[in-house]
């Protein structure tokens, strides 16, 4: 009887491990997620773009781009996140998605866009290869700049808070990981803390964001250029040689 119980527990553990080992952020250039605010008044994109496109987005930071190019890996691609106004320069590594730079954008009162670049040394992960409830990881970024640039650090603590079943504008998703992101920005001995959340669904990617301003954006539509199998959703197939997966906003 004891052996049977142990075997059942072991089998359950294997099933859980398999479920959390799926791709929670499909990582191919061209992948696009469309998000809408809960009131429906705002629409923002999250896209995977090439390294060159990512640098072009940061067109106001030409000097920054020159410094970034020196250390950028040739295989790096960019997660351009309009929801949180930032861009992550990433490369797939054995332990997960490794981050080399993060660009934070902010609109000034005069309408111009200010960009702040943080550089990440060694093995610092945007997202680990395996995610599971209670998993934690940290990153520590240094502001990139010239001799006159202000010394600034951005220390971030990530935690997988829970696994959920979540219904958003695009539909119902299971085994969703809710991840908290708590960041401390230190500048001139003054610390400011920010808290945000993202919800990731297996083989789909981000389906909900809660920003530092407590705005909530939910997935309305997504297009992936990865040929992966979806068990929990029946998605339209598609066009050409690439198989596109998409969910549409349901009226």
Write the pLDDT tens digit of every residue in 122-174: 779 999 998 899 999 999 999 987 555 668 999 999 999 999 999 999 999 99
Structural domain contains residue 132: yes
Per-residue pLDDT, averaged over 196-212, amounts to 97
Structural domain contains residue 32: yes
Give the total number of structural domains in the chain.
1
Are 192 and 165 a contacting pair, CB within 8 Å? no
Average pLDDT over the chain, rounded to an integer:
81
Structural domain contains residue 14: no
Structural domain contains residue 8: no
Cross-strand bridge partners of residue 46: 33, 81
Structural domain contains residue 59: yes
Distance from chain centroid for Cα 227? 20
Structural domain contains residue 27: yes
Domain hosting residue 196, numbered range: 22-247
Q: Distances from the Cα of 16 to the Cαs of 19, 49, 163, 200, in angstroms?
A: 5, 32, 11, 16
Per-residue pLDDT, averaged over 192-215, amounts to 96
pLDDT computed for residue 114 by the predictor: 84
Structural domain contains residue 50: yes
| Residue 50: Cβ within 10 Å count | 13
pLDDT, tens digit (0-9, with 9 covering 90-100), for 52-74: 998 888 766 667 777 777 677 78
Q: What are phi and psi of 8, to 5 degrees?
A: -65, -45
pLDDT computed for residue 61 by the predictor: 65
Per-residue pLDDT, averaged over 220-241, amounts to 52
Are 208 and 171 a contacting pair, CB within 8 Å? no
Structural domain contains residue 9: no
């Amino acid at each position: 009887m004891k052996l049977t119980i142990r075997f059942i527990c072991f089998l359950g553990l294997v099933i859980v491990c398999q479920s959390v080992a799926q791709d929670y952020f499909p990582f191919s250039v061209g992948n696009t997620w469309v998000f809408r605010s809960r009131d429906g008044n705002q629409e923002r994109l999250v896209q995977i773009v090439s390294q060159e496109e990512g640098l072009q987005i940061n067109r106001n930071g030409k000097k920054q781009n020159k410094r970034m190019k020196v250390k950028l890996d040739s295989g790096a691609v960019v997660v351009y996140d309009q929801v949180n106004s930032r861009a992550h320069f990433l490369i797939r590594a054995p332990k997960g998605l490794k981050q080399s730079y993060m660009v934070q954008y902010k609109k000034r009162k005069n309408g111009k866009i200010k960009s702040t670049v943080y550089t990440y040394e060694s093995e610092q992960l945007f997202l680990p290869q395996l995610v599971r409830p209670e998993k934690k990881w940290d990153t520590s970024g240094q502001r990139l700049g010239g001799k006159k640039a202000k010394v600034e650090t951005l220390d971030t603590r990530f935690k997988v808070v829970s696994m959920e079943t979540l219904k958003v504008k695009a539909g119902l998703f299971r085994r969703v990981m809710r991840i908290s992101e708590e960041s401390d920005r230190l500048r001139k001995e003054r610390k400011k803390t920010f808290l945000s959340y993202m919800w990731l669904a297996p083989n789909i990617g981000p389906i909900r964001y809660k920003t530092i301003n407590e705005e909530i954006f939910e997935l309305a539509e997504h297009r992936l250029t990865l040929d992966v199998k979806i068990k929990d959703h029946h998605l339209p197939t598609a066009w050409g040689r690439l198989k596109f997966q998409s969910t549409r906003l349901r009226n």
